Chain A
């Protein structure tokens, strides 16, 4: 910019400066910075989001030209609502959410509260809990598949060893019975086994978020409450926990969004089986799209997944907007 343009600035008061600042820029200036990111984002994220809605009303098979696909109206959705696998997947996603917003959240908060005090080796302890976060879901899935292995896996071997000990002590137990527990084979057990592996990863994440939140808590408030005679539990219940409320909102929303996104672990460990008993929406969608080539039907599942998430995405964004205005 030629220097002659900034001479008038010097004469202006601070309040006028603001106004001029807005006018000063060439109207195209923001676009030179935004053009490439926006184009990329538009092509690979915004357009696909809307395209899914379009595909959901067709019977596209993924290979023939989309122009040849028939518009089928709400047929995909009608079929979906009458599909027992779909309802199984929805129920499983809800179970996943129920576990995720309770167990890792409570454990993570409790760990953060303890690790926030000065204790020895706190770095080692923190690392032990959040190390699983660094692993790829595939790696977690494979390692846990091994842990759950019926005959040789870590869990059943340990159980069998324990039962063997009891047998030696004279109890009438059969150590080999432990080797028959099919953690990933029994329909009423499999989902919980997969969620167990996911919880193993999630606890450290929640702990990190709460540790960051605890750092923002003003120690003076805690001291004031202590002077007022607040006991440990009351201090937590009436002072610390309310102060952590914003973090708790984020943790709950993130947990729900993560539960709805769950795919990798299910695909690696069970493919949704046996007999769809560990099916979740994302896995169901993938199966329909790339195993059955019913892209239209899969898109309808995607639309439902989107609609379920919408409320939680809105909650998160609402919080950001409020912060923005504060």
Chain B
């Protein structure tokens, strides 16, 4: 009896191991293929345009240098553009996390008729094809006198990301036991104290995840930078790069160097806080 069961099982286990190994080989080939565009870009950025146009991509590089990076950073203005990106991203990040933690707190802490309506309003806004906001937001920024200033982007990003942030934080705060809030009330704490002492500290993991994710999103935004800022000295790195692309047309090593430089801040955030980044991405899709 035991033999009859054991025999087929050992066979399938061997088959399984063999099949998994094939899959692993395919996954490895895929991974190398997936890294190839970036590796190619990296190699290109270290070579000169003359070298590549004369000898082709697959030739042995004549010289390797950081000249392209130097030129992209200085002359082509990537350093300024990167600075602008930080000036826009950090206040927006702070604003959206602070405000959405307040709205999330209000939505789980108080029972009032519109609570659910607001929740779905934030949720719907996060799913919107945001291009439909483009024209009224453009008009609004003109009317409010913030068009072509940092403020236009800071305000818009803060407001638009409230949808996603509130959605995530509300779902996270809901897991806090009500008794915790109640005992704080019994201790005589006011609502703002409860928010600050209990609501906020308990959602720090969610805040960290949101911060990494939102940093990447706002930093990498292109459309709104295109619509709301036209002065070259105020452009963030994304629209800055497309300006650079227009100026240095066909100097691919320089364009690619600029692109890679533009990626450094998000790469640092990503590698330093990878766990949170992945956590944030899945928060919207799976519960909690």
Interface residues of A (CB under 8 A from B): 1-3, 6, 9, 17, 21-22, 24-25, 27, 29-34, 36-38, 40-41, 43-49, 51-52, 55, 62, 66, 111, 114-115, 117, 119, 124-125, 127-132, 134-139, 142-144, 146-147, 149, 151-154, 157-158, 160-161, 200, 203-205, 208-209, 212-213, 216, 231-232, 247, 250-251, 254, 257, 260-261, 263-264, 267-268, 281-282, 285-286, 289-290, 295, 298-299, 302-303, 305-306, 309, 312-313, 316-317, 320, 323
Which of these, B130, B136, B140, B282, contacts A209 with CB under 8 Å?
B282
Q: How close is A290's CB to chain B, nearest CB, in angstroms?
A: 7
Instruction: Decide: A52 and B132 in contact? CB cutoff 8 A.
Output: yes
Tell me the complex Cα distance, A269–B66, Å.
Answer: 26
Residues of B18-55 whose CB lies within 8 A of A: 19-20, 23-24, 26-28, 30-32, 34-38, 40-41, 44, 52-53
Tell me the complex Cα distance, A204–B282, Å.
Answer: 12
Instruction: Decide: A44 and B112 in contact? CB cutoff 8 A.
Output: no
Tell me the complex Cα distance, A254–B31, Å.
Answer: 24
Q: How close is B23's CB to chain A, nearest CB, in angstroms?
A: 5
> What number of residue pairs across chains A and B have CB atoms under 8 A from each other?
296
Chain B residues within an 8 Å CB radius of A137 = 220, 222
Residues of B119-140 whose CB lies within 8 A of A: 120-125, 127-140
Instruction: Decide: A208 and B281 in contact? CB cutoff 8 A.
Output: yes
Chain A residues within an 8 Å CB radius of B86 = none
Ordered nearest first, which 3 A-B pairs have the shortest CB separation? A136-B220, A44-B159, A48-B136
CB nearest to B144 among chain A residues? A43
Tell me the complex Cα distance, A247–B40, Å.
Answer: 34
Determine the main DSSP class of A at the interface with B: helix
Q: How close is B50's CB to chain A, nearest CB, in angstroms?
A: 12
Instruction: Decide: A146 and B252 in contact? CB cutoff 8 A.
Output: yes
Interchain Cβ contacts under 8 Å between A and B, 5 examples: A1-B185, A138-B241, A144-B37, A289-B138, A323-B287
Chain B residues within an 8 Å CB radius of A9 = 186
Instruction: Decide: A317 and B120 in contact? CB cutoff 8 A.
Output: yes
Instruction: Decide: A139 and B241 in contact? CB cutoff 8 A.
Output: yes
Tell me the complex Cα distance, A268–B223, Å.
Answer: 11
Tell me the complex Cα distance, A46–B277, Å.
Answer: 28
Residues of B239-273 whose CB lies within 8 A of A: 239, 241-242, 245, 252, 255-256, 259-260, 262-263, 266-267, 270
